Amino acid sequence: MKKVTCTAPVNIAVIKYWGKRNEELILPINSSLSVTLHQDQLKTTTTVAANRDFPEDRIWLNGKEDNINHPRLQSCLREIRRLARKRRSSGDDNISKILNYKVHICSVNNFPTAAGLASSAAGYACLVYSLARLYGVEGELSEIARQGSGSACRSMYGGFVQWIMGEREDGKDSLAQQVEPENHWPELRILILVASAEKKHVGSTAGMQTSVKTSPLLKHRAESVVPGRMEEMIEAIKKKDFEAFGQLTMKDSNQFHATCLDTYPPIFYLNQVSQRIIGLVHRYNAYYGTTKIAYSFDAGPNAVIFTLDPTVNEFVEIVKRSFPPESNGDPYLKGLAVSPVSLSQDLLSAVETDVFPGGVSYVIVTQPGPGPMESQDISVDLLGTDGFPNASG
Ligand SMILES: Nc1ncnc2c1ncn2[C@@H]1O[C@H](COP(=O)(O)OP(=O)(O)OP(=O)(O)O)[C@@H](O)[C@H]1O
Ligand SMILES: C[C@@](O)(CCOP(=O)(O)OP(=O)(O)O)CC(=O)O
């Protein structure tokens, strides 16, 4: 039996992907750009094993067996095996042998799955990267991850990553590309404000299908707004211009949700907590007369806040005051260290509104991080020596 364990990151788009031109190949109607989050705070761990004694391919996700016949899982398995057969050096009998074995896949997210925290992006990126390591496949893999979940292609790289939409019918030019590495902007911080009143929202896949069918605003966004915005965003990142980066991020999040409202029937991903956070951010920036904080929302009410390290402590203090934690004993702050600070009265007067207890269940503080990587520590393996999930899997 050959076994490999890898980890992969979550990514959050600052220029959103929303809408496909090809559902089966998962080809987008616009390019997008994301920040890869550090795996110290959010990651998927996946172990894959190939064994001639396995009667069938199987997958376990977060401790439960999942449907291996899910079309997107099958796409990833089929494509990575095709690539392995194509790229293996001639006469590499070992890879040829393993390619004929069935595989067991065991995967765990260290954050909530299907909760709007982009678990599918990290999950499919980890699956593809793990299988590539198992079969000895190197080089471009984002095209395969894209067929698991569109945003997963961006998790194949660390740092700042663009997904070039491509024009070809076969999607061979719809690939992810690193814009800058994770150490490019060391002061950048990302705060994830996990909303407690999480209602089951319309999933991204179904949501964008309806938007493409019904929203004229989405067509305008894809054709007339995103191309120029991508260039501006890349320039802002390269220059580490937070004013430009932050404003573009907020404007793109706002426009993405505007297209959701322009969808028929409309899709409401933002809730009361989201709207309060948006107001709080703009009041905070207005107080300082510059963009020190930026928000971005995906297909759910969780807020992703971008800022620079010197602002973290003060803004977290404001969040705690605006959305005080419920006394359920769970830690309110997770991830990078945050120090309590006192707030000036004039800042409080400028930003504060009525308090919303429990509106935010917890805050994850993180930073840009690396792409997928193979673990050399066998204690991390999720499959035992028998090829079945162990206590960690
Ligand atoms: N570790 C994983 N390995 C393989 N597949 C995964 C993994 N984690 C999640 N998935 C797949 O992604 C699906 C969840 O994707 P979904 O888009 O519904 O939620 P999300 O990605 O967490 O939220 P959002 O898309 O709104 O950001 C799961 O049902 C599963 O099919
Ligand atoms: C709002 C988004 O997070 C949409 C993510 O959509 P998915 O990648 O989850 O959709 P599928 O391609 O159908 O799997 C914006 C983004 O991440 O770019």
What does the pLDDT look like over 265-322, one tens digit per residue? 999 999 999 999 999 999 999 999 999 999 999 999 999 999 999 999 999 999 999 9
371 lines ligand 1 (CB under 6 A): no
Who contacts 143 (Cβ-Cβ below 8 Å, separation ≥6)? Answer: 79, 153, 171, 172, 174, 175
The ligand minimizing its distance to the Cα of 12 is 2
117 lines ligand 1 (CB under 6 A): yes
107 lines ligand 1 (CB under 6 A): yes
Residue from 183, 193, 262, 190 nearest 221 by CA: 262
The ligand minimizing its distance to the Cα of 30 is 2
7 lines ligand 1 (CB under 6 A): no
Distance 365 CA to ligand 1 centre (A): 21
Q: Kindly report the protein residue whose alpha carbon is nearest to atom 29 of ligand 1.
A: 114
Pocket test for ligand 2, best of 146, 147, 151 (most atoms within 8 A of CB): 151
Distance 381 CA to ligand 2 centre (A): 29
Digitized pLDDT (tens) for each residue of the chain, 393 residues in all:
899 999 999 999 999 999 999 999 999 999 999 999 999 999 999 999 999 999 999 999 999 999 999 999 999 999 999 999 987 666 567 888 899 999 999 999 998 877 778 889 999 999 999 999 999 999 999 999 999 999 999 999 999 999 999 999 999 999 999 999 999 999 999 999 998 656 667 999 999 999 999 999 999 999 999 999 999 999 999 999 999 999 999 999 999 999 999 999 999 999 999 999 999 999 999 999 999 999 999 999 999 999 999 999 999 999 999 999 887 777 899 999 999 999 999 999 999 878 999 899 999 999 999 999 999 888 899 999 999 999 889
Distance 113 CA to ligand 1 centre (A): 6
Tell me the pLDDT of the chain averaged across its residues: 94
> Which atom of ligand 1 is found nearest the CA of 44?
1
Query: Which tokens go with 70?
Result: 């899910």
Contact 175, 143 (CB under 8 A): yes
Residue from 381, 319, 9, 28 nearest 173 by CA: 28
34 lines ligand 1 (CB under 6 A): no
Computed on alpha carbons and rounded to an integer, the radius of gyration of the chain in Å comes to 21
61 lines ligand 1 (CB under 6 A): yes
215 lines ligand 2 (CB under 6 A): no
Angle made by CA atoms 163, 165, 170, in degrees to the nearest 5? 120
Distance 121 CA to ligand 2 centre (A): 8
> Which atom of ligand 2 is found nearest the CA of 20?
12
Q: Residue 256: how many CA atoms within 13 Å on its side-chain side?
A: 28
Q: Is the ipTM of this complex over 0.90?
A: yes
Distance 20 CA to ligand 1 centre (A): 18
Identify the pLDDT of residue 113: 76
Distance 115 CA to ligand 1 centre (A): 8
Distance 41 CA to ligand 1 centre (A): 17
The rounded distance, in Å, linking the Cα atoms of 11 and 28 is: 17
The rounded distance, in Å, linking the Cα atoms of 393 and 375 is: 15
Residue from 92, 84, 72, 87 nearest 25 by CA: 72
114 lines ligand 1 (CB under 6 A): yes
> Which atom of ligand 2 is found nearest the CA of 163?
18
119 lines ligand 1 (CB under 6 A): yes
Burial of 2 (0-12, 13-18, 19+ CB in 10 A): middle
